[in-house]
Amino acid sequence: MTTLIKNGIVITEDPEDRVFLKGWMRIDGDRITGLGEGDPGDAVTADRVIDATGKAVLPGIVDVHTHVCGSLFKGMTEDPEGAFYGLALPMERLLTPESTYTLSMLGAAECLKGGVTCINDIYHYMRDTARAIDEIGMRGVLAHKIIETDLSTIQYHDYTRIPKEGAARVEENCRLIEEYHGKDGRIFCRFGPHATDTVSIELARKIVELGHHYQVGFHIHVAQKVQEVNFLKETYGLTPVEYLCETGLMGEDLVAAHCTYITDRDIQLLKEGGATMAHCAEMYGKRGSFPPMEKIYGSGVRLAYGTDWVTMDPWTSMRIAVMAARMAGCKLNDPSAHTALRLSTIVPAKSLGLGDRIGSLEVGKQADILLLDMQSPNLTPVFDDPVATIVYNANRHDVHTVLVAGKVLVEDRQLKTVDEAQVLAEGQRAATAIYRDYRAGK
Ligand SMILES: [Zn+2]
């Protein structure tokens, strides 16, 4: 099956950051086999032609930090004080493999309809999330959440280690890797030590050994809460970033989510260690905490954008990342719209070790593509820099078509591989049941 997309604004995110105000692209199976400016010419033929007149063609968004199953907490955790430790983490206990699958499908549908083609996800029952990702057809890098602490009691500063729980979770992460790593060239796995305060140094070292054995990377939460920073200081005399160095987790194959409460020395360590800091700006806007971005942009720390959970809208998150940085004292062009889009596409692709496969529109790469409908007042007019028009004005409802590995998963804003009405109904049912049980004190 060959596909020709023509007459669209093509935003490549390639090394030269090329943009064609009118361009074309040819897809053969799952790969991009041709692309250029202007008209494709009569020599370029295909089985299927997509006329992208009035649309922009971009690489799919790579969301560097998600919990798609966390769509459970929409509208529940944004306002109450202490809702993360006090409500969300205790409620997670009520998830089952089946409800994780159902809510992951809901979250994956939200991602896909917003133009996210690849997620980097860490959560409970990850093999059930993997099932949903596999079924809907999107791309994912998945890690099972390894903890050796009861997450429902850390709100009371109870960090009692539960080695049995840690061992079982490590075992489950290994099963995930064995079952899914490399599946169809679309699903990849990592180890997911949950956070620097919920995994002991000993267990983290063991996870690092296993990561090297399986040749996979790592995904962890770092310095997301003051309580975590204080616990690390009291217990080990380390900052969360120093914990990464101490355990061996630090490295280019590590995605460190948040890094909200970090020191100047931590910034230096992250830079030297080569880890990717996952920056989830919209989430911080909800929590009211923000990393010292005025020191991080331009510091040499590898940075990529994610949405985290609850709301998985890459466009709003991208915009908040730019604006919040400027309010915190960053220069107007750092980050610019171009930087923001690169931190949402090619940079996270590289962070996940997938830079040779996805993240940009280039010949030989996988056809993970989104088409934005530019024929709307919020995206008109367009001058010679459509990237700025898009980053400052696009909404997820402007996403018209989404392809992953050459397969159309969203067309005319409709999901093609799953029944959306059913996904919504089952998602609502699963969320309501968990909420009811939680209220009943189960
Ligand atoms: Zn997270």
Q: What confidence score (pLDDT) does residue 421 get?
A: 98
How many angstroms does the Cα of residue 66 sit away from the middle of ligand 1? 6
Average pLDDT, stretch 123-134?
98
Q: What is the 3-state secondary structure (H, E, C) of 379-437?
A: HCCCCCCHHHHHHHHCCHHHEEEEEECCEEEEECCEECCCCHHHHHHHHHHHHHHHHHH
How many angstroms does the Cα of residue 279 sit away from the middle of ligand 1? 10
Report how far Cα 81 is from the mean position of its chain's Cα atoms. Answer: 26
pLDDT digits (tens, 9 = 90+) for 61-71: 999 999 999 99
CA–CA gap between residue 395 and residue 319 (Å, rounded): 10
How many angstroms does the Cα of residue 258 sit away from the middle of ligand 1? 8
Q: Are 309 and 73 in contact (CB under 8 A)?
A: yes
How many angstroms does the Cα of residue 229 sit away from the middle of ligand 1? 16
How many angstroms does the Cα of residue 70 sit away from the middle of ligand 1? 9
Average pLDDT, stretch 393-407?
98
Q: What confidence score (pLDDT) does residue 328 get?
A: 87
Contacts of 156-159 spanning 24+ positions with Cβ under 8 A: 157/227, 157/231, 159/197, 159/198, 159/231, 159/235
CA–CA gap between residue 269 and residue 263 (Å, rounded): 10
pLDDT bracket for residue 422 (50, 70, 90): very high
**136: pLDDT strictly greater than 90:** yes
pLDDT digits (tens, 9 = 90+) for 337-380: 999 999 999 999 999 999 999 999 999 999 999 999 999 999 99
Q: Domains for the chain: give ranges and CATH numbers.
A: 2-59+364-415 (2.30.40.10), 61-351 (3.20.20.140)
Place of tokens 């790593």: 181
How many angstroms does the Cα of residue 7 sit away from the middle of ligand 1? 39
pLDDT bracket for residue 331 (50, 70, 90): confident
pLDDT bracket for residue 83 (50, 70, 90): confident
**333: pLDDT strictly greater than 80:** no
pLDDT digits (tens, 9 = 90+) for 208-245: 999 999 999 999 999 999 999 999 999 999 999 999 99
Q: What confidence score (pLDDT) does residue 330 get?
A: 84
- Phi then psi for residue 399, to 5 deg, are -70, 120
How many angstroms does the Cα of residue 121 sit away from the middle of ligand 1? 8
